[in-house]
Structure 1
Amino acid sequence: MTDHVASAEHGFAEQYGRRPAGVWSAPGRVNLIGEHTDYNDGFVFPFAIDRRTTVALGDRDDRLVRVASTFSPETVEAHLDTLTPDTVSGWAAYPLGVVWALAEFGADLEHVRGVDLHIDSDVPVGAGLSSSAAIECAVALALDEHWGLGLDRPTLAKVGRLAENRVVGAPTGIMDQSASLLGETDSGVFLDCRSLDADVIPLGFAEAGLSLLVIDTCVSHTHATGGYAARRASCEAGARVLGVESLREVRVDDLDRARELLDDETFRRVRHVVTEDQRVLDTVRTLREQGPGAIGALLDASHVSMRDDFEISVPELDLAVETAQAGGAIGARMTGGGFGGAAIALVGDERVPEVRRRIEAAFAERGYREPAIFTVHAAQGARRDA
C-alpha cells in the first residue's frame, strides 16, 4: 500500500469512523507548452505529474454527499435531490460540482445512494499545477466507478470542466482534466481542444538525462477572478472581429491582417494564442524528430509571448525563468494560467542543483518569498488505488 492510499484511508476512518469502500487518485499536471490555447479550440501539450490528489469513498444509506479534506477543517454536505450550482461554494464546489455535473452528462443519479468522501492531496495549491482538476478527476472517476455510471474518460474530463465553469465559476478549458485523466508515464498528452482527439507522445526526458524543474513562486493566483476572465474575453472579441468562431482558425500568416483590424491590446492577445498554437505543433514535431534536448527555444519563446503579448507573468515568474536560463537550462517558461503560480525549466540532470541554488539566491536578493523548487516526472493519470 502506498503512503497516499494509507493516508487517505486513515483520514477517512478518522473523519467518518469506518473504513472506506475504495480509494481513487488523480494527478496534477504541468503544461509543457500551450497556454491559454485550450479555450480557443487550439492545441495543448500537458503531462500528468507525480503529485496526486486522493479520494477515499464510503457508502451511505441516504441521499447525502458529505465531503471532508485535509486542507479544510470544514465538512460540507449536500443532498443529491437539491444540489445545484448555487448551493455550494468555497473548496467544496470542486467535488460537489462534479456530482452535479455528472447528471448534466446523462448519469442517472436518482437511484444511487449518497457517499462520504475524504480528500487528501500533495498537489501544491495555487502553483499552476492544477490542484483543482486533480480533485475533480479523482472524484469523477471514483463516483463513475462506484455508482456504475459507465462514462468514458473524455466524458469525465468534460464533467470536470463543467463543474469548474458552472459551479466554481472559473472559465477554464478542458486541458487540465484531460491531462489528469489521460496521462501516461514518461509521456505528454497532445490534445486538440476542438476535436478532443488526444495522442500520447513519449517525452524521453529520462533517457536524455533531463529533469523538469518546477519553480513554485508561492505567489497565489485564482482563475475565477480578474485577469483570466479578461484574457478569455479579449480572445473572444478578437475572434468576432476577425470573423471566425475561434482563434484556432487564425494562422500565423493571418496576423498582418489581424493587426490592421484589431486594437493593439486585442491584437497582442490574439498573437499570443496564434503563435502558441504553432509552438505546440512545433514542440510535438521536434520531440518526434530530434528529441527533448531540441525544444528549449520553443519554451523560451512561449514565455516571452506570455510576458509581453498576453501579459500574464509577474516579476517572480520572470526572475525564475531568466535565472534558470542563465544557469544553463535548455529552456524555461511560466506554466499555468498566470498571475502567479509556477515556472518550469528543462534542465540537464547534473545542473539541477546549480539552477536551484541560483534561483533561491536570486529570490533572496530581490526580497521575494522563498520559492518551492522540485522536480516532477510524467506519471500515470487517474486510477483506482484500493
Structure 2
Amino acid sequence: MSTARTVADRFRERFGHAPAGVWSAPGRFNLMGEHTDYNGGFCLPVPLDRRTRVAAAARDDDLLHMVSLDVPGEVDVPLHEVRAGRPEGWGAYAAGVLWALGGDGLPVRGVDLVVGSDLLIGAGLSSSAALECSVAAAASDLFDLGLLADDAGRARLARHCQSAENEIALAPTGGVDQTSALRGMKGHALLIDFLNHTLRPVPYDPARSGAGVLILDTRTRHSLSAGHFGDRHAECDRIADLLGVDLLRRIGVDDLPVAEAELGDPTLAGRLRHVVTENARAVKMADDLEAGDWRAVAGGMTAAHASMRDDLEVSLPQIDLAVEEAIAAGAWGARLVGGGFGGCVMAVVPVDRVRDVAGAVQEAFAVAGYEAPTGFLATAGSPAGRDL
C-alpha cells in the first residue's frame, strides 16, 4: 500500500535528493450517474479514501521523468513533445496534465515524479483521474499557480485534467472523476449537474442506517481508452443528432415514449432510456441520502444496474453474478461501478451481513470458475491536496 512516506523515500533513492513535496488525490465510487456526465446530466460520486500519491520536484528544463511504484519501467518525455497518444500508457495521464496547463498559458516546466497508489487500476474506481489530479495538485504548488486555494481554481484544474484524459490519453470520458477528486468534500457525496455546472454536497453516512458500502472487485479489468466506452459516447452523440438536441439531458422522463418512437431503433432507444432514467435516479438518490434512507439508495442502485445491463449493455457475466449473489445473500441493493466492461460491484449491506455477502459472492465465483473476488468497505475520503 502506497503512503506519502513510501513515495518520498523512493524519490530520494531514484533522484538522489528529497522531493519538493508529496501530493495525492482520491479515487471515487459513483453512487449514481454512469455515462451521464458527457450527456450534460447528473452524477453522484463520492471521493474514496484510497488514493494515488506523487512525490515531485520541478526541473530546470521541460523534461518529464516519471517513475511508478506499481508499473515497471520509467517514462521520459519532453513537455514540448507531448501530444495525442504520446507518451503511451499511464504516462499519458500525467504528462497530459502539464501539457494542458501549459496550453492554457500557465508557467509550467519539467518535473521529476514518483507515483504510488493503493487504488485498484481499471476497476471503475477512477485510478486514471486520481493520477491526473495528484499531478495537477503538485503542479499548482510547484509552479505557484495557486489553483488549489479556492473552488474556482480547482474547477480550472479539473477541466485541464479532463483535457489530458480526452486529448492525450485518448479516453473519451466526461468530467465526473476529475470533479469528484478535486472538488469533493470529505464525508459527502457530490451531486454534479453537468448542464449548469453546479455542485450540491450531500451527506454520506451509511452507518447512520446500520449499513456499509461494500466494494467487490470482480477481477475483470477495462480501459477507458478502449473502444467500448467510446462506442457508447458516439451512440449518445448520434441520438442527440437524430432528436435535434445538443445534449441528451434535454430529454426528460415524460419525453421518452415519443423520443424512443422517433428513433425507431431498439438499441439506440435503450441507450437513451438509460441516460434519461439515470439522471432521474441520481437526483432522487441525492434526496434519499439527505433523508438518510439507505434502503431507497440501495433500491436505486439495483435499478441502475438493470439499466446498465439491459439498456446500456456495459455489464459482464461476472459483474451480473456478483450483483445477483450479493442481493440474494442480504445486500439491500447492488450495481456495477464505473463506465462498465469490467471492474467492481458496489453493494449496500447491513453491517452484520458484510462477511456473509462477501462469502456468498466468493463461493458463487468459485462454482462458476471465475477468479476469486476481493472486497472492502468504502469510506468517503478528502479531495486532492498536499500530504507532505
**TM-score category, normalised to shorter length:** over 0.9
Choose the corresponding residue for 1:279, options 276, 281, 297: 281
CA drift at 1:3 = 6.6
Matches within 5 A, 1:159-238: 159-238=160-239
Counterpart for residue 247 of structure 2 = 246
Q: Deviations over 1:136-177 (max 9, x none)?
A: 000001101110123311111111110000000110000001
Q: Which residue of 1 aligns with 2:310?
A: 308
For each residue in 1:67-112, what CA deviation from the matched residue of structure 2 results, as whole angstroms up to 9, or x when unmatched?
Answer: 1111223221222344333532121101001110112333233xx4
Contact 1:189 1:200 in 2 (8 A): yes
- Structure 1 residue matching 2:48: 3-state secondary structure: strand
Instruction: Report deviation, 1:327.
Output: 1.1
Q: How many residue pairs were aligned?
A: 382
Question: Would the alpha carbon gap of residues 380 and 290 (structure 1) be closer, same or farther in structure 2, given more than 3 Å must change?
Answer: closer
CA contact 2:2–2:117 (8 Å) conserved in 1? no
What's 2:123 paired with? Answer: 127
- The question of whether the paired residues in 2 share the 8 Å contact of 1:126 and 1:218 is answered with no
Deviation at 1:257, TM superposition (A): 0.6
Higher mean C-alpha displacement, 283-292 vs 87-96: 283-292
In 1, are the aligned partners of 2:100 and 2:164 still within 8 Å (CA)? yes
Q: Which residue of 2 aligns with 1:59?
A: 58
What is the identity, as a one-letter code, of the residue corresponding to 2:62?
A: R
Question: What TM-score do the two structures reach when normalised by structure 2?
Answer: 0.95
Q: 1:305-332: CA deviations, max 9, x gaps?
A: 0000000000000011111111111110
SS state at 1:169 partner: coil
Amino acid at match of 1:154: A
User: C-alpha separation between the residues in 2 aligned to 1:19 and 1:188?
Assistant: 36
Alignment of 1:324-339 (within 5 A): 324-339=326-341
> 1:101 aligned to 2:103?
no
The AA in structure 2 aligned to 1:34 is G
Query: Can you list the C-alpha shifts for 1:210-257, whole angstroms capped at 9, x where unaligned?
Result: 211111111111111221111111111111111111000000111111
In the alignment, structure 1 residue 376 sits paired with structure 2 residue 378: yes
CA contact (8 A) 1:356 1:373 kept: yes
Q: Tell whether the 8 Å contact from 2:209 to 2:292 is kept in structure 1 after alignment.
A: no
Structure 2 CA distance, aligned partners of 1:11 and 1:18?
A: 10
| Paired residue secondary structure (2:208) | coil
Worse-matched range after superposition: 83-92 or 233-242: 83-92
The farther-off stretch of 230-239 and 148-157 is 148-157
Which shows bigger deviation, 78-87 or 16-25? Answer: 78-87
TM normalised by structure 1 equals 0.96
Q: Is the 8 A contact 1:85 1:100 kept in 2?
A: no
Separation (CA, whole Å) in 1 of partners of 2:352 and 2:222: 32
* Distance verdict in 2 for CA 1:3–1:53, change over 3 Å: closer
Cα 1:124–1:86 change in 2 (3 A) is: closer
Matches of 1:348 and 1:83, distance apart in 2:
48
Amino acid at match of 2:370: Y
Deviation at 1:290, TM superposition (A): 4.6
Question: Is this contact kept in 1: 2:57–2:142, CA < 8 A?
Answer: no
Partner residue of 1:71?
70
Runs of 4+ with deviation above 4 angstroms? none
Question: Over aligned residues, Cα RMSD in angstroms?
Answer: 1.4
Shift of 1:297: 1.3
State whether residues 203 and 292 of structure 1, in contact with CA within 8 Å, keep that contact through their aligned partners in structure 2: no
Cα deviations by residue, 1:34-62 (Å, 9 ceiling, x for unpaired) = 11101101000000111100000123233
- 8 A Cα contact 1:186 1:205, kept in partner: no
Q: Is the 8 A contact 1:313 1:339 kept in 2?
A: yes
| Matching residue's letter, 1:131 | S
Matched residue, 1:25: 24
The whole-number CA distance in structure 1 between the counterparts of 2:292 and 2:3 is 37
Between the aligned partners of 2:334 and 2:172, the Cα distance in structure 1 is 26
Tell me if structure 2 keeps the 8 A contact 1:32–1:47.
yes
Match of 1:35 in 2: 34
Residue 357 of structure 1 corresponds to which residue in structure 2?
Answer: 359
Partner of 1:138: 134
Secondary structure of 1:143's counterpart equals helix
Q: Deviations over 1:264-292 (max 9, x none)?
A: 11010000000000000110112223532
Is there any run of 5+ residues in structure 2 with no aligned partner, and where?
148-152
- Percent pairwise identity: 43
Shift of 1:294: 2.5
Aligned to 2:150: none
